[in-house]
Amino acid sequence: MASTIIDSRIFGDMFSDARMRDVWSDENRTAKYLDIERALAKVQGQLGIIPQEAADEIVRNCELSMIDWDKLKAKTEQIGYPIIAVVNQINANCRDKLGEYCHWGATTQDITDTAAVLQMREGLALVEQDLNEIGDALAALAKKYRDTPVIGRSNLQQATPITFGYKMASILAGIDRHRERLQQLKPRVLMGEFGGASGTLSSLEKGAMETQAGLMQELGLAQPLISWHTVRDTIAEVGAFLGLVGGSLGKIAMDVKLMMQTEVAEVFEPYAPGRGSSSTMPQKRNPISCLYIHANISVVRQHAAALMDAMVADHERSTGPWEIEWVSLPEIFCLLSGALKQTKFVLKGLEVDATRMRANIDITNGLVMSEAVMMGLGPYIGREYAHDLVYDLCRESITKNRPLIDVLEEHPEINKHVTRAQLEAMCDPANNLGQAGVMVDRVLASPLRR
């Protein structure tokens, strides 16, 4: 019976993605062990390091369907690691003791680490696909709402007008940087391991480096310059990268949650009957996907920190830090997959209320246009004096609950320089969007979008 959120029959598909769970499943992990042992035997047979007859027999018996899972579990619990248990079964299935050549010159960590890298490759491919879809969804929103005014917010207070397209494009730029980071880190982290007991391949008298090169070529992985049994920066880098991606997803969830508040009501998660309802308050429409995103990425960050701890390994083969990765790496990938899936759902069906966005700009009686007024008056009365004057008139507008433009128009040091029509132009949010549209266009035209 499942006991974790990731494997739960109830919650599993809300907190994670089935495709990613498959990547980190016992079945796929064991299949990767077999893939490596198969490739190793094939390469060593070609190099004449082991008899070709043995290589052929080992290759024939490296099949997941031949694994006895009860025996694998029992032997793993006895030894502490599953690799010997897998090799034992391959050996037992081979005829004429030819299986004795299986795992020739390798050590448990070689197979375990290389299998983890193969799983990471599959996991990162899913992350890349999801990032592409999220980027496309953000690009569509940025383009559609390029010129749609919405209030910018600073310290949760209304600041100055921006556009909703600008808001989406700024997040999109970060997602595109993640896509670039992913391409940059692949050559570093998709690197296999084959070093033997202490990493020097001392168990092979000849063809050691040729075996290593051929094995990595067979698996489609980079060949390491030197063994990395206890130098774990590449694993930690993957965790850090996924933590960064999670931070960006959390930013999306945070803004959507805040914009869904009843008093704001500018955007909403996609609607489905009953989704986000309360057991006691029928009127509620809770931001369900955003809640799961927030929870997932918070745990992802903690696991990323754990992978930093796993880097502090002793000597050439470690006493415990390595196993941290066994716990943290699958959960990072699975939890992030859930956050990615929920983010895609939110963005692809995001409900945007442009009318409410404009109404929210207007609720302050024009106060949010005070910067534009200050800058507009600057050439006439000086920017610093204009700042202090507009500040005082804003307080008057609040105290008397009057539109700012009326208070401005009545002031003698203002109306002697500008007309009401000029003040109206200063107070029009559409005239104070700065370079928002230009910036949106720059993001959409970026080489990272291609």
| 3-class DSSP assignment, residue 13 | helix
Identify the pLDDT of residue 279. Answer: 64
Cβ-contact 239, 328 below 8 angstroms: yes
Cβ-contact 148, 188 below 8 angstroms: no
Which residues face 154 on adjacent strands? 157
Identify the pLDDT of residue 276. Answer: 61
State both tokens at 386: 């204009």
Catalytic residues: 278, 317
State both tokens at 225: 């310059």
Q: What is the pTM of this model?
A: 0.94
Q: Which residues of 170-187 are buried (b: 16+ CB within 10 A; e: fewer)?
A: bbbbbbbebbebbeebbe
Strand 149-154 and strand 157-163: the pairing is antiparallel
Residue with tokens 């008298």: 205
Cα–Cα distance for residue pair 21/69, rounded to 1 Å: 19
Cα–Cα distance for residue pair 329/239, rounded to 1 Å: 7
Identify the pLDDT of residue 145. Answer: 98
Residue 51 phi, psi (nearest 5):
-60, 140
Q: Which residues of 350-360 are buried (b: 16+ CB within 10 A; e: fewer)?
A: bebbeeebbeb
Output the CA torsion sign for 134, 139, 140, 142: positive
Identify the pLDDT of residue 450. Answer: 78
pLDDT in tens, the chain (450 residues): 788 889 999 999 999 999 999 999 999 999 999 999 999 999 999 999 999 999 999 999 999 999 999 999 999 999 999 999 999 999 999 999 999 999 999 999 999 999 999 999 999 999 999 999 999 999 999 999 999 999 999 999 999 999 999 999 999 999 999 999 999 999 999 999 999 999 999 999 899 999 999 999 999 999 999 999 999 999 999 999 999 999 999 999 999 999 999 999 999 999 877 666 666 777 678 889 999 999 999 999 999 999 999 999 999 999 989 999 999 999 999 999 999 999 999 999 999 999 999 999 999 998 998 999 899 999 999 999 999 999 999 999 999 999 999 999 999 989 889 999 999 999 999 999 999 999 999 999 999 887
Cβ-contact 423, 416 below 8 angstroms: no
| 3-class DSSP assignment, residue 124 | helix
Identify the pLDDT of residue 288. Answer: 92
DSSP labels for 21-59? HHHTSHHHHHHHHHHHHHHHHHHHHHHTSS-HHHHHHHH
Amino acid symbol at 75: K
| 3-class DSSP assignment, residue 352 | strand
Tell me the pLDDT of the chain averaged across its residues: 95
Q: How many CA atoms lie within 13 A of 300 on its CB side?
A: 30
3-state secondary structure 134-191: HHHHHHHHHHHCCCCEEEEEECCEEEEEEEHHHHHHHHHHHHHHHHHHHHHHHHHHCE
377: Cα separation from own chain's centroid:
46
Which pairs count as long-range contacts for 123-127, CB under 8 Å and 24+ apart, including other chains? Answer: 123/20, 123/23, 123/24, 123/333, 123/337, 124/182, 124/186, 124/238, 126/17, 126/19, 126/20, 126/23, 126/337, 127/182, 127/242, 127/245, 127/333, 127/336, 127/337, 127/340
Cα–Cα distance for residue pair 71/99, rounded to 1 Å: 18
Identify the pLDDT of residue 35. Answer: 98
Q: Helix 108-144 vs helix 436-444: angle between axes, to the nearest 10 degrees?
A: 140
DSSP assignment letter at 261: S
Cα–Cα distance for residue pair 386/325, rounded to 1 Å: 59
> E strands of 303-427, at which residues?
351-352
State both tokens at 148: 């749609």
Identify the pLDDT of residue 274. Answer: 67
